[in-house]
Structure 1
Amino acid sequence: MNDDGRHTPRSSREAPAPAARTGTGGGSRAWRGLRVLLPVLLTACATQGPPRPAHDAVAVRAEIARRMPATTADRTGWAGDIQIAFDAQRIEPNAENICAVLAVIEQESGYRADPVVAGLPAIARREIDRRASALHVPKRLVDAALAIRSTDGRTYAQRLRGARTERELSEIYEDMIGRVPLGKRLFADMNPVQTAGPMQVSIAFAEAHARGYPYPVEGSIRREAFSRRGGLYFGIAHLLGYETPYTRKLHRFADYNAGWYASRNAAFQNAAGLASGIELALDGDLLRPGARLDEPGQTERAVRALGASLGMDDRAIRNALARGDRLEFDDTDLYVKVFALAEVRARTPLPRALVPGIRLESPKITRDLTTAWFATRVNDRYQRCMRR
């Protein structure tokens, strides 16, 4: 069984667990043939029976509300926004998917649409001072810029001291970037607040996946992401809006923190390290961003060391690794052959998903936290929800 059992085109069946795909040659070609044929067979089967009835929105909302913690305020409102997001994205509202979403909400915000961040004014000022120092901007100029009156009549310094949520801080930054010359210099036209809403979704992700958004956009997608409805819609898209090869929700939760397919890619790095004898960081990043062909990163260098055994040159290896942000990477010759070589050396089957070993870094984080910590905490909440 896959990790969520979705069934519609955008968020349908997860691919079968890749642990079964350890062979090479004909086995790999047979699997690819099955991947092509399977949608046809499913379509044919679907047309032979009665059409599947649409989900009753009222019943779905009631089920979502029932699975929320008993202390949640406005359960009806939360359930309604989640149900609309599921319906708009054609995500199956089964218990697994409902609980996955509720677990992330509980972990990231405790069911607060615009959560308060402890010590936010100090965090914001440290970030401004850090950027100013990196640009060799004197502190007196920073203080002078913050003493300017903002659009609401208060100085920027006063607004910073009163900021309690990321939405408030984002609005201050947007105002500074648009009105204060030093603001443009410090932030390079980029708002440093990059997560938003009750699921702390990436604003860049929201802006890249705004097509199909079911609500009128009030101001901007950034502003929508700070709302409950927008934060839930884009957070659910990030969590459930892509197919994976996983058999456990734990790895999807790790991906939510580290990026799509990070758990699959970390398992591939583990196999590449075993096959090549080169120790690799299992961070899920297969390619160094923007690297030229003659500037391979750590993982790419390890895989290139296997080039003769793989029967692949540097260009072919680069092209395959470039698919690491897609499900289809599983079906590349590179993926199949690297695991085959690694399993011969290890003399045992290897996992096809591993939680990436990433230390979390953010001005808001004051402890040593990791992706494994995040995924485990969310998974614990998910299990409690499933028992509810």
Structure 2
Amino acid sequence: MTAPYSRSAAITLLAALILAGCSTEKTPLKKGEKAIDVESLVRKKMPASVKNRDEWAQIIARTFESQKLAPTEENVCSVLAVAQQESNYQADPAVPGLNKIAWQEIERRAAKVHIPALLVHTALKIKSPNGKSYSDRLDAVKTEKQLSAIFDDLIDTVPLGQQLFGSFNPVHTGGPMQVSIAFAQQHTRGYPWKMEGTVRQEVFTLRGGLWFGTYHLLNYPASYSGPLYRFADFNAGWYASRNAAFQNAVSKASGVKLALDGDLIRYNSREAGTTELAVRKLAGQLKMSDSEIRSQLEQGDSLSFEKTDLYSDVFKLAERKSGKTLPKALLPGIQLESPKITRNLTTAWFAKRVDDRRAKCMAQN
């Protein structure tokens, strides 16, 4: 289950435009790769138990075409592996105990603004726009699409809903790939279908969930040696694996122990975070001011960070000190936290599990 995508909200408009521009030219094939017919391969690789395989095949083929993605077996199997892991090929998967999770979130927010739970439960017995009470809808809710619609109605029509949530719908992810809704809202350029409703609502459709999920997984340039790190990035945010490796180098060079989480700066604050403070300890050796360090760290959400003096010089210092070549990508050490997650899971677990599914897909004849 994918954790909320916290870093996407911090991508600057300039970076977003640059990255969006990357999709205007078709991604080239790697050495030894062969172009395949995406639609035919999806039909072949998906389990026969998936009744709407033709629809999946058509949507994924159009997604690859509109995003100018390399039509390779690895890319197709990567998309299918994420969808299998996240939803078992369901457009709107049921979430066990979602009704309890929803009530807990409402009660948590009510307590935060000092509204008694009894008052909240009583208020939600009023009828919602579909004729059923909010309370009945919440008790019966099974999927995130249903829950998102309840919160949309609650926020739009009930003063209590506005008091508890403002304009913020607490359902963060959706669709067959469990893509971040915030991410989708920022990356609509090139979407090939006409949206009948909001971006949020589109994410919960099969086509929207697959298109935005594939964009998040494949439609950004990266220099990774294999898809494992893209799977980690899908869970933790673009370039999290590259940035975790950089944090490891910073730690080796500075002697400061860091959480290898892929977050290089505090994107919503000018206050320096732990990684930035550790880099500042190297300022003399790097011959950089604090402002220069900050400016280059701010490129951590793009491929251009790898071209900065900061990136190359930190690795030089770290490798000189450790006496060995350091990895340029590491699985981020992030504990997955979500009301939907009931086990002790990490980003590394997610990435490895999806990569195993990809490998099985590719081995399938």
Q: TM-score when scaled to structure 1?
A: 0.85
How far apart, in 2, do the equivalents of 1:10 and 1:289 lie? 30
> Which amino acid in 2 is paired with 1:326?
S
Structure 1 vs Structure 2: percent identity of aligned residues?
A: 54
Q: Which structure 1 segments of 5+ residues have no match?
A: 1-6, 17-54
Aligned length: 340
Correspondence 1:362 to 2:338: yes
Which one of 147, 154, 158 corresponds to residue 180 of structure 1?
158
How far apart, in 2, do the equivalents of 1:229 and 1:288 lie? 34
Pairs within 5 Å for 1:133-212: 133-212=111-190
Correspondence 1:283 to 2:298: no
| 1:74 to partner: Cα distance | 1.8
How far apart, in 2, do the equivalents of 1:81 and 1:13 lie? 21
Which one of 302, 306, 317 corresponds to residue 341 of structure 1?
317
Q: Which residue of 2 aligns with 1:26?
A: none
Q: Which residue of 1 aligns with 2:5?
A: none
| 1:185 to partner: Cα distance | 1.2
Q: Name the CA shift for 1:384/1:15 in 2 (closer, same or farther; >3 Å).
A: closer
How far apart, in 2, do the equivalents of 1:336 and 1:163 lie? 51
How far apart, in 2, do the equivalents of 1:13 and 1:91 lie? 8
Q: Name the CA shift for 1:162/1:8 in 2 (closer, same or farther; >3 Å).
A: closer
1:268–1:352 Cα contact (<8 Å) kept: yes
Correspondence 1:83 to 2:61: yes
Q: Which residue of 1 aligns with 2:362?
A: 386
> 1:74-130: per-residue Cα shift (whole Å, max 9, x none)?
211111110010011011111010000000000000010110111110110011111
| 1:248 to partner: Cα distance | 1.1
How far apart, in 1, do the equivalents of 2:132 and 2:47 lie? 39
Correspondence 1:238 to 2:216: yes
| 1:288 to partner: Cα distance | 1.4
Pairs within 5 Å for 1:251-270: 251-270=229-248
How far apart, in 2, do the equivalents of 1:304 and 1:69 lie? 52
How far apart, in 2, do the equivalents of 1:183 and 1:150 lie? 12
How far apart, in 2, do the equivalents of 1:13 and 1:247 lie? 16
1:14–1:245 Cα contact (<8 Å) kept: no
Q: Which residue of 2 aligns with 1:36?
A: none
How far apart, in 2, do the equivalents of 1:288 and 1:113 lie? 34
Larger radius of gyration: 1
> Which amino acid in 2 is paired with 1:141?
L
> 1:191-241: per-residue Cα shift (whole Å, max 9, x none)?
000101000001111111112111111111111110000100000000001
Correspondence 1:316 to 2:292: yes
> Which amino acid in 2 is paired with 1:340?
K
Pairs within 5 Å for 1:220-235: 220-235=198-213
Q: Which residue of 1 aligns with 2:46?
A: 68
Q: Which residue of 2 aligns with 1:375?
A: 351
| 1:137 to partner: Cα distance | 1.2
Q: Which structure 2 segments of 5+ residues have no match?
A: 1-21
1:14–1:243 Cα contact (<8 Å) kept: no
| 1:10 to partner: Cα distance | 4.8
2:336–2:345 Cα contact (<8 Å) kept: yes
> Which amino acid in 2 is paired with 1:241?
N
How far apart, in 2, do the equivalents of 1:136 and 1:344 lie? 56
How far apart, in 2, do the equivalents of 1:262 and 1:375 lie? 12
Which one of 75, 81, 84 corresponds to residue 103 of structure 1?
81
1:103–1:382 Cα contact (<8 Å) kept: yes
